[in-house]
A and B are shown apart, each in its own frame.
Chain A
Amino acid sequence: MSTKRFRPDVDAPEYKGGYSPYDIIKEGTIAIGVIFLLTLLLAILFGSPDEHAITIKTWSNAAPIDFATTATSELNGTSTTGGYGAPYNNASDGPALGPIHVAHLIGVRIPINTVKDFVIDPLKSLPNQPVLDQNLAMWASASTSTRSTWIANYTKASANMKFTDGHVVVNATDAGPVPVMVDSLTQMARSGALDQALVTGSGFYTTDFTKPLLFVSDGTYLADLATKQHLSGDQWGMMNETGSYPGQAWLWLYSFWYQIPPFNTSGNADILILGIMLLLSVGLLLLPFIPGLRSIPRRTRVYRIIWREHYQNLK
């Protein structure tokens, strides 16, 4: 009869030692009380951050040129959203893991047409705007190549964009209705109507802020505010929060990869880091079954600190 060999990283020895009294209910009750008091103390001492959300109204009033430039990029397709790819559109293949563009394979599931969704549809919702309506009609009846010419001419001239007397001024020639559209959208944004139009575009009842958030994040205003609050990607990004709070410190490893080469300069950093973190998570999950890794605790002998009384008693 063969005896199964004892594997120290897999099997546990049979415990033949003593037992001591243990009141599990008392311990649990005390622990809940202590944790609640500690929570109470931290909440009283430090509170919690609550920076108001920015709106398209606040953005376009604080930085009208940035807003109008972003609106132009939504029209000419050079905005981040305009060139994003899946799940919003087919403008690019998106980040790749080797030869595989995973998001592109899954396809466009949250369709966003920046020209229609961010500019034309909101402008159409404005009532009593005869000049704008004429320009929108001109846009609607123009061919794709004519629209492209107008947008290209406007984009070229918008390098010298000015905001004067509450209006966006761009000295563009052969830009068709584009100057009126960009100026009207800016006026709409400054009044607060664009915030509402982008949210209610999906219906009366909605909790989906995909469109306004994408539009806002296409500009530089949000990113500038975030950088001032130490929240940008090279400042350990989303694991932080405004003010001096711990934030999502448990995401440190996820954020860490974005700080080092080759990820901090790679166009595929997002998918590469996602892949690494998935692998590490699976590794952590299956640690008990991975030879070598599961031996680390026994070999490092940190357990001797944890069970020092036990080993002292054995002596």
Chain B
Amino acid sequence: MTAVAPRPGRVEVHGVHKSFGAHEVLHGVDLVVEPGSVTVVLGPSGSGKSTLLRSINHLETVDRGFVALDGELVGYRRKGDVLHELKEKELLRQRTRFGFVFQSFNLFPHLTALENVVEAPVSAQGRNRREVEAEARELLARVGLADKADAHPRQLSGGQQQRVAIARALAMKPAVLLFDEPTSALDPELVGEVLAVIADLARTGTTMIVVTHEIGFARQAADRIVFMDDGRVVEQGTPTEVLDHPQHERTKAFLAKVL
């Protein structure tokens, strides 16, 4: 509470609306994520969790509302009272401040695990390849895959692939890590190894926003839990508040089904 220098990684979402065709998925979402905190977003399928996450790093453009990282608007540059839409080049540079982990991993299948991790820091951040490679090996070791550096993604299990994807996101040294249902595409026995890596990261003080269905993980690792339903944030609070003493009927109904 008495931070001297403000830590990076504060995410603010203000009144975000998003439609796909005639169907509005997000009806004005407000959310503040404190730097270094772990926020878990829960909610039934189709509640807009993933769309919200993808709006935060501008993978989806929003129809109305704003997202800001450390006070800097995502997707726009402010000049006085005028907002200029960012060109793709600037947008890509801004995105490097977010790490994104996909449900279906989306590793580049024609590149080795190491090349997957090295690619973006070199080509997007213009860093020295040799330096990045050394770091990438450390990152792969950190997710328990030091010996898989030269394997191609299809030679790895789903859990291993997702851990490479996490290392790839970390290599950008992002201020915020976004996880979009990181364990939903995994066999049950592989879920644990990925959650362990994420929980481990949670202790390092990177801001994390995790969309998941793993209630146990939410209880153990989250600082805050946000419950979404039908494109709105229904309630939020600490894990005890939301999971053990839910206030809203829809939260209670959801928890009754999954717990």
A and B are interacting partners: no
